[in-house]
Amino acid sequence: MLYSEKVMDHFQNPRNVGKMEDADGIGEVGNAKCGDIMRMYIKVNPETQVITDVKFNTFGCGSAIATSSMATELIKGRPVSEALELSNHAVVEALDGLPPQKLHCSVLAEEAVRAAVRDYYDKNGIAYGEELRECPGHCESCGHEHCGE
């Protein structure tokens, strides 16, 4: 399996690792097949709705750590609405690719961001639509190519 330099860099030197005690939103997702678990923490400015800080803890393979790290980099400093637009494809592209058998890690990163935003919205009484409902694990429901693997 060949990994890009960016994947190796984010695996060996992950950004934004750690627990956030005062998080405004926390999302945890996992993949039962591979055992990866991601927990994403976000801090949001209530006036601007900008994600001012983001942290993650990931138990999993190098690709899971790299995708978590890259996802945090892609949403930090962005409005929550833009963070919701983050796709697994954008994470893969930002990492200069992942091996096909590791694409599910990018889906987990996307889902962790969405779960953290969903938690933030729930805690603050902010309504959201179907795009934030939890994925039941089959692709017809969420459109992911690799969920439920």
CATH of the domain at 9: 3.90.1010.10
Question: The pTM is what?
Answer: 0.86
Classify residue 5 by burial, with Cβ atoms within 10 Å: 0-12, 13-18, 19+: exposed
* Cβ-Cβ contacts under 8 Å for 16 (sequence gap 6 or more): 54, 55, 56, 69, 72, 73, 76
87 lies in some domain: yes
116 lies in some domain: yes
What is the domain range of residue 51? 5-132
Among residues 61, 105, 135, 142, the one annotated as catalytic is: 105
Q: Residue 77 is which amino acid?
A: G
21 lies in some domain: yes
Does the annotation count 142 as an active-site position? no
Does the annotation count 61 as an active-site position? no
Residue 68 near residue 40, CB atoms below 8 Å: yes
Domain total in the chain: 1
76 lies in some domain: yes
Tens-place pLDDT, residues 72-116: 999 999 999 999 999 999 999 999 999 998 998 999 999 999 999
